[in-house]
């Protein structure tokens, strides 16, 4: 029994020692693993940060490479740039420079030789209209004119009799009223004949000319020989290109920014690069159209008779102007959603190589090939030599070198 008790106590002691060793190993494993992970993870994060910071922002070009890339240097300049609204529109003639021509009494078009685009002068015959009713108008005029001659004689006779107190006053008054009424009829019939282009008195005719009320060119020709027309039919549209307006369509949300007198800079589809024309706003529409735009009218600063009504234009309405530091658009490059410039190193190597550093900048208003820029701290406009041409060639070389590494 004594031996059995001793063996039992010895077994319990061995079991306790095994448990302590197992728990110790587990604790060591538990505490050891995070330590290793932290040590391994921290260098990895620092390595990524260093790699990001080590991204190249500077490149060097030899003299030959600089000539090939067309590198040119310049300075930041103070320029007057305007914040503006970009809109579209057309060139169009104002109402006083666009007229429609109709045949006052209608009839049959007997003759016309003009085509769309033809140049016409004021008073030129555009077409000849034939209408039998022209005879009735002339006949009535001649008949009323004869009655007027008789009424004039009767009026003079009754006036003389009344003066001699031979005839009563009412006869004189009646003769005077008839004479004046016929005078009015003759005058009205003569005016109607003139409006219709018919002769006042003389030989009767069944044809009347349709004349141009002003000079210009024919925008529309709706008349052809043998065509039956009425007084409401538009036969011709004449446009005088001596004065045109810029007619713009501005979205209703931008209308509050508009003011009379603002400058409009516009370009035509056939303009060469850098061409710029100007106009001044003189009228802003007070209603919003179905396309949710407001009509804006601007006078051209310089008239040009060679421009055609209906020509499409792209325009910028200057809503404000300010003097700001600016660079040519060619000096700016975009990469990764940001704007950059290249600044040249002041010192060149013995081989004539020059270094260029890519610097991020903030941009603002763009106009006429220039963009407002804000340089970062430590870079002054007076001292910085900035690449104004060939910037994209530098960007390509810089990024290609980065990919090769």
The enclosing H or E element of 29 equals helix 2-53
Q: Which pLDDT tens digit goes with each residue over 63-122?
A: 888 888 888 888 888 887 776 788 999 999 888 888 999 998 889 999 988 888 889 999
Q: CA 39 → CA 26, 29, 108, 137, distances in Å?
A: 20, 15, 103, 114
Which residue, 123, 124, 126, is CA-closest to 220?
Answer: 126
Q: Which CATH class is domain 84-95+240-321?
A: mainly beta
Q: Are 186 and 200 in contact (CB under 8 A)?
A: no
Which tokens go with 203? 């030989």
Report the CATH architecture of 58-80+323-404.
Answer: Beta Barrel (2.40)
Helix/strand/coil for 229: strand
For 117, the token pair is 């685009």
The residue extents of the domains of the chain are 58-80+323-404, 84-95+240-321, 98-131+210-239, 135-205
Residue 107 near residue 142 (C-beta atoms within 8 A): no
| Under 8 Å between Cβ of 396 and 352 | no
Looking at the domain that runs over 98-131+210-239, which CATH code has it been given?
2.40.50.100
For residue 11, what pLDDT band results from cuts at 50, 70 and 90? very low
The region, left, alpha or beta by phi > 0 then psi within -120 to 50, assigned to residue 198 is beta
Write down the pLDDT at residue 272. Answer: 60
For residue 400, what are its two tokens?
């290609």
Helices (H) and strands (E) in the chain, counts: 5, 21
Rounded CA-CA distance 49/25 in Å is: 37
pLDDT of residue 93: 87
pLDDT tens, position by position, 197-215: 898 987 889 999 999 998 8
Q: What are phi and psi of 328, to 5 degrees?
A: -60, 150
Give tens-digit pLDDT for 223-244.
889 999 998 999 999 988 888 8
**Of 98, 97, 102, nearest in space to 223 by CA:** 102
More confident residue, 275 or 356: 356
Q: How far apart are CA 131 and CA 204, in angstroms?
A: 12
Burial class (CB in 10 A: 0-12, 13-18, 19+), 296: buried
Q: What phi-psi label fits residue 61: left (phi over 0), alpha (psi between -120 and 50 degrees) or beta?
A: beta
pLDDT for 67 = 85
CB neighbours (10 Å) of residue 299? 17
For residue 27, the model assigns a pLDDT of 40
pLDDT for 187 beyond 90 = yes
345 near 355, Cβ under 8 Å? yes
pLDDT at position 16 is: 46
Average pLDDT over residues 277-302: 91
The pLDDT score that the predictor gives to residue 162 is 87
CB distance 381 to 76 below 8 Å: yes
- Whole-number Å distance between alpha carbons of 187 and 142: 12
* Ramachandran quadrant class, 165 (left: phi over 0; alpha: psi -120 to 50; beta: rest): left
Q: Which two tokens stand for residue 397?
A: 């070389």
For the record, the structure tokens of 182 come out as: 């016929």
Q: Which residue has the higher pLDDT, 9 or 221?
A: 221
Mean pLDDT, the chain, as a whole number? Answer: 81
pLDDT classification of 48: cutoffs 50, 70, 90: very low
3-class state of residue 256 by DSSP: helix
For residues 283-307, give the mean pLDDT: 89
3-state secondary structure of 394: helix
Quote the CA–CA distance of 333 and 391 in Å, as a whole number: 7
Integer Cα distance of 75 and 353 in angstroms: 21
Q: How confident is the model at residue 316 (pLDDT cuts 50, 70, 90)?
A: confident
């Amino acid at each position: 029994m004594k031996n059995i008790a001793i063996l039992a106590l010895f077994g319990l002691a061995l079991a306790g020692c095994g448990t302590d060793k197992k728990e110790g190993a587990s604790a060591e494993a538990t505490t050891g693993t995070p330590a290793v992970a932290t040590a391994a993870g921290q260098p990895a994060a620092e390595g990524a940060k260093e790699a990001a910071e080590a991204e190249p922002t500077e490149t060097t070009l030899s003299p030959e490479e600089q000539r090939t890339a067309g590198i040119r240097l310049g300075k930041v300049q103070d320029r007057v740039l305007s914040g503006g609204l970009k809109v579209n529109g057309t060139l169009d003639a104002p109402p006083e420079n666009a007229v429609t021509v109709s045949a006052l009494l209608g009839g049959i078009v007997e003759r016309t030789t003009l085509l769309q685009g033809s140049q016409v002068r004021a008073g030129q015959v555009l077409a000849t209209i034939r209408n039998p009713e022209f005879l009735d108008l002339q006949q009535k005029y001649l008949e009323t004119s004869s009655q007027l001659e008789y009424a004039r004689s009767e009026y003079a006779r009754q006036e003389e009799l009344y003066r001699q107190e031979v005839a009563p006053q009412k006869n004189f008054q009646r003769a005077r009223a008839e004479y004046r009424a016929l005078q009015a009829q003759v005058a009205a019939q003569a005016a109607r004949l003139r409006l219709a282009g018919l002769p006042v008195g003389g030989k009767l005719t069944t044809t009347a000319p349709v004349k141009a009320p002003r000079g210009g060119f024919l925008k529309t020709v709706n008349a052809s020989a043998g065509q039956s027309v009425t007084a409401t039919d538009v036969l011709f549209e004449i446009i005088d290109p001596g004065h045109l307006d810029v007619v713009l369509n501005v979205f209703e949300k931008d209308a509050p920014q508009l003011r009379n007198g603002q400058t409009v800079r516009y370009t035509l589809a056939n303009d060469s690069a850098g061409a710029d024309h100007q106009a001044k706003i003189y009228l802003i529409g007070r209603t919003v159209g179905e396309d949710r735009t407001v009509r804006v009218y601007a006078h051209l600063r310089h008239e040009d008779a060679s421009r055609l009504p209906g020509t499409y234009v792209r325009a910028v309405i200057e809503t404000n102007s300010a003097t700001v530091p600016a660079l040519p658009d060619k000096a700016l490059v975009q990469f990764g959603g940001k704007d950059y410039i290249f600044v040249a190193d002041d010192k060149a190597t013995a081989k004539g190589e020059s270094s260029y550093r890519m610097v991020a900048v903030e941009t603002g208003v763009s106009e006429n090939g220039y963009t407002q820029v804000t340089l970062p701290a430590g870079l002054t406009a007076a001292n910085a030599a900035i690449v104004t041409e060939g910037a994209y060639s530098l960007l390509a070389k810089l990024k290609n070198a980065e990919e090769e590494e």
